[in-house]
Amino acid sequence: MEIIAENLSKKFQRDWIFRNLNLRFQSPHSYTVVGPNGSGKSTLLQILAGVAAPTNGEVLFKQQQQTIAVEYIYRHLSIAAPYLELIEEFTLLELVKFHCKFKPLKNELSLEEFMDIMKLGRAKHKMIKHFSSGMKQRLKLGLAFYAGTEIILLDEPTSNLDNQGIDWYHQEIEKNTQDRLLILCSNQAYEYEFCDEVIDITSFK
């Protein structure tokens, strides 16, 4: 799987967030985008996910040299980010079942096995709105890690996780990204120290 950014630029009102960005992301490699708060990391990730449009340039998605239309790229990627909301009125079991209608779990993992991996098995009948912030973050990450997609996009992946949750993140990301394309945005070295390449978005101002 491959994501190609060609002459990518994004402008908000009169301010350019980044300009003339040319990057190629290929599986099975991992990439981190770093930069100060407000530098455009999350904006770039949303453009790469096909949910936001650049001001200039384009993003191409390719699989085995075949171009994938942007309206179908959602089938191939999973994303976890602080600004993405879960359906709070669902129980955990209901939410996972709903998610699997669009993106089945990889390796034919059962719902019970999946919830146990996230250490949320005892909360399967609990409504998401009653979850702690750490439980919600583990759920977001788990859905990204274990969906049967070729691309994983993560933004500030350990937000709201305690030390035990951070250890869980490291275990799971190592297990679930070996043969996939991983792109994450972070300012915390411990979140991305395993990545193949670090990209400073301030280089494209």
Q: How confident is the model at residue 33 (pLDDT cuts 50, 70, 90)?
A: very high
Give the pLDDT confidence score for residue 65 in this predicted structure: 85
pTM: 0.94
Kind and range of the H or E run holding 34: strand 30-34
Two tokens, residue 154: 């993560």
* Predicted confidence (pLDDT) per residue in 76-131, tens digit: 999 999 999 999 999 999 999 999 999 999 999 999 999 999 999 999 999 999 99
- CATH code linked to domain 2-204: 3.40.50.300
DSSP state of 1: -
What single DSSP character describes residue 32? E
C-alpha closest to that of 141 among 187, 177, 98: 177
Cα–Cα distance measured from residue 31 to residue 26, given in angstroms and rounded to the nearest whole number: 9
User: Angle at the Cα of 186 (from 180 to 190), degrees rounded to 5?
Assistant: 85
Give residue 64's pLDDT.
87
Q: What is the pLDDT of residues 140-176, one digit of tens each?
A: 999 999 999 999 999 999 999 999 999 999 999 999 9
| Chain segment 61-70, per-residue pLDDT in tens | 999 889 999 8
> What are the extents of the domains in the chain?
2-204
Tell me the pLDDT of the chain averaged across its residues. 95
The strand pair at 77-80 and 151-155 is best described as: parallel
